[in-house]
Amino acid sequence: MTAGQVFLAVVALLAFGACLRRGPATARKAAADTGRSLLGMLPIFAVALPMAALLAELIPADAAVTWIGPDSGMPGILVASLAGGLMPGGPFVTFPLVLAFAKAGAGVPQMAALITGWSIFAVHRILTWEYPVLGWRFVALRLIAAFPLPVAAGLLAEWTIRVVPVGLGGP
């Protein structure tokens, strides 16, 4: 277990302890809720993880290294931010594409920009959820306020990896 995992587990136990203090009924509800969420997610895991591992084996390495490689700098960060924003679909569909970018030789700052860009701009999510539920004014507010963030994430990552070496790749 990593330090982050231990921290998450401790916080979760504290929160569950707070439920117990409210009374056994509250704790039971929280436990049942946990179980339901877990059962709902296991089928997704059962197909998503093998798919990711198979794709990782399949994709040729270093196909896009000149565009978004570790030495592509600011232009690479811009390209990655834009590419991230244009990627279609939710995480089920998009993370295989993200994996393809990683395998194709993307640098760490460029990947940070790509994922941030996708999280913020995800066009499909705006069209299918945000606009219908919250209206275009909310979409405009959020997009204007968040516009520079993917590039900022890329630059911050670039400075970070000069100090702390962080690589891409599974555990």
Partner 1 sequence: MPSLFRRHASILLIGAIGLLAALLLWRRDGGGAVLRALLHAWELFLFIAPSLVAGLMLAAALRQLVSPGALGRWMGAESGWFGLMVATFAGALTPGGPMAAFPLVLVLAGAGADRGALVAYILSWALNGFQKLLVYEMPLLGPDFAIMRTILTLPMPMLAGFVARRLPIAWEPPK
Footprint on residues 57-116 left by partner 1 (CB under 8 A) = 57-58, 90-93, 95-96, 98-99, 102, 108, 111-112, 115-116
Single residue of 79, 80, 87, 122 touching partner 1 by CB under 8 A = 122
CA distance linking residue 143 with residue 130, whole number of Å = 11
Q: Of 52, 44, 47, 43, whose CA–CA distance to 96 is shortest?
A: 52
Residues numbered 4 to 63 that lie near partner 1 (CB under 8 A) are 4-5, 8-9, 11-13, 15-16, 18-19, 22, 26, 29-31, 33-34, 37-38, 41, 43-45, 47-58
Single residue of 63, 66, 75, 138 touching partner 1 by CB under 8 A = 138
Stretch that binds partner 1, among 62-70, 71-79, 80-88, 125-133 (CB under 8 A): 125-133
